[in-house]
Chains A and B, each alone.
Chain A
């Protein structure tokens, strides 16, 4: 039905088609990329963090921690090679959480509302936001891999391509988790606490820095915690993908957790069911 609208000429509101959805997705991804490019400090810190681990931590630890031949490795590997998939996971973990941090910030500052009042379905907007976050994360991972390559940490050439789907899926899982966490948090200050309870336990209770068999030897309880940690499977998925292999258990767990976290985040951001709208908004005083 044509209606009288701005521009004087009556405009008929056509139904949204695939083209409109793609325009929306592109807009959300482009904005995230632009924001990232404008925040150079964010890019530098995202790169420096894993590089410090690679250049300093790994160099020191190489002497005290031997890595036996475990799949997917067919020979002994340098400790730097072993922790590289974990450092890729670290970038995804920090980036996923940072993306969620920006959602809390956007919600506090009001920017989030411009996204949430879009006529597109809420689930689509959140998935778009996640895809945007993952795109930026993957770019950071590849920037890190380039530096690592010059440092002498090299995977088989095909591995750099094969790892892309693993990075994407792991990034989606971690972004979805971050989005879910952001829905539970009212203020930015509270998020810092959650970061400490999620990022550090998540990272250290995983095979990112040391093989699971070493952890099992040291503490069977910690080993069980590692096995219950979704980040463990993200790291292993990435590790195997570097060598052109699929670790099916990891793939299943990461895919399942992605669906679970995403569904929970969509419910949390749904105005009729979610947690977000149960809290009083800070945007106005009326």
Chain B
């Protein structure tokens, strides 16, 4: 069963199309990079997957659960890190995480134990009582990742999670997420426009102005697009060529 199955999804804001007939799937325990320049439709797609918007055309399934018809079951299986910072700056790290735990029906001792364990995983041990306002951008992101993992999701969505961070923080966060795929078996959809965040072994999905222009393993996308590297392929796919879908579905 696919961790995420996006089938023929289209979305528009009034008369302005944002996504057009997008289809792809993500297998469990894989790292998939959703590539696209600003305005490609990545955030819209995330909003549809997380049921912030309703999917009016096409369907989205998370471990077989339709996001529109069984949103509760689908959302229990997904952890989300949004592009915009979503921590409450007036509250402490623990209060922020406890709130999220409560939103998933997790309370008391269980929540405390999970929070402590996850702060270790994201390299922020013992920072429960720090005010969110006192954290750096990279530390906030780490807390948001811990928050997204609190309810033990099977699929993790990260929308431009490293935007605005320095190179060291970016590398650290990326490494943490990749490790989670290996050790915990989580499927990851990592949206970015930064091509250096793609590894050779990753799967990629490339969006261009709301159209899916390539999907598959990095090597397959590079080969099918006739480029010499994924950087070159992304450049061609997102700026020059838009015809057809290159590559193989993961």
A150: interface (CB < 8 Å): no
| Shortest CB distance B11–A (Å) | 10
Q: Is the CB of A277 within 8 A of B91?
A: no
Q: With contacts A5-B154, A118-B75 known, is A34 near B91, CB below 8 A?
A: yes
Q: Is the CB of A284 within 8 A of B68?
A: no
Residues of B within 8 A of A30 (CB): 98-99, 102
Q: Mark B62-85, 1 if CB is under 8 A from A, else 0.
A: 010000100111111110101111
Q: Is the CB of A31 within 8 A of B159?
A: no
Interface segment, one of B40-48, B165-173, B239-247: B40-48
Query: Considering the chains assembled together, what is the distance between the CA atoms of A132 and B46 in angstroms?
Result: 28
Q: Is the CB of B47 within 8 A of A281?
A: yes
| Shortest CB distance B181–A (Å) | 11
| Shortest CB distance B191–A (Å) | 7
Residues of B within 8 A of A278 (CB): 13-14
The residue from B42, B75, B98 contacting A119, defined by CB atoms under 8 A apart: B75
The residue from A6, A34, A39 contacting B149, defined by CB atoms under 8 A apart: A6
A-B contacts counted at CB < 8 A amount to: 173
Interface residues of A in 6-32 (CB under 8 A from B): 6-8, 11, 13, 16, 19-21, 23-24, 26-28, 30-31
Query: Considering the chains assembled together, what is the distance between the CA atoms of A125 and B54 in angstroms?
Result: 17
Query: Considering the chains assembled together, what is the distance between the CA atoms of A5 and B185 in angstroms?
Result: 6
Interface residues of B in 22-69 (CB under 8 A from A): 28-29, 36, 38-47, 50-54, 63, 68
Q: Mark B183-195, 1 if CB is under 8 A from A, else 0.
A: 1111000010100
Query: Considering the chains assembled together, what is the distance between the CA atoms of A45 and B86 in angstroms?
Result: 26
Q: Which residue of chain A has the shortest Cβ distance to B183 in the bound complex?
A: A8
B125: interface (CB < 8 Å): no
Q: With contacts A119-B71, A281-B47 known, is A110 near B84, CB below 8 A?
A: yes
Residues of A within 8 A of B108 (CB): 23
The residue from B18, B29, B40, B80 contacting A117, defined by CB atoms under 8 A apart: B80
- Interface size bracket, B side: 35 or more
Query: Considering the chains assembled together, what is the distance between the CA atoms of A272 and B66 in angstroms?
Result: 14
B124: interface (CB < 8 Å): no
B227: interface (CB < 8 Å): no
| Shortest CB distance B95–A (Å) | 6
A196: interface (CB < 8 Å): no
Q: Which residue of chain B has the shortest Cβ distance to A109 in the bound complex?
A: B84
Q: Is the CB of A38 within 8 A of B159?
A: no
Q: Mark B138-174, 1 if CB is under 8 A from A, else 0.
A: 0000000001010011100001100000000000000
The residue from A31, A111, A120, A271 contacting B52, defined by CB atoms under 8 A apart: A271
A-B contact list, 23 entries, CB within 8 Å: A4-B29, A4-B185, A5-B186, A6-B153, A7-B184, A23-B105, A26-B107, A31-B95, A38-B90, A110-B84, A111-B87, A113-B82, A114-B86, A117-B75, A119-B74, A119-B104, A120-B105, A271-B54, A273-B54, A280-B18, A281-B44, A286-B38, A286-B44
A-B pairs, top 9 by smallest CB distance, nearest first, are A27-B102, A284-B43, A20-B105, A286-B42, A110-B84, A23-B107, A118-B103, A272-B54, A271-B54
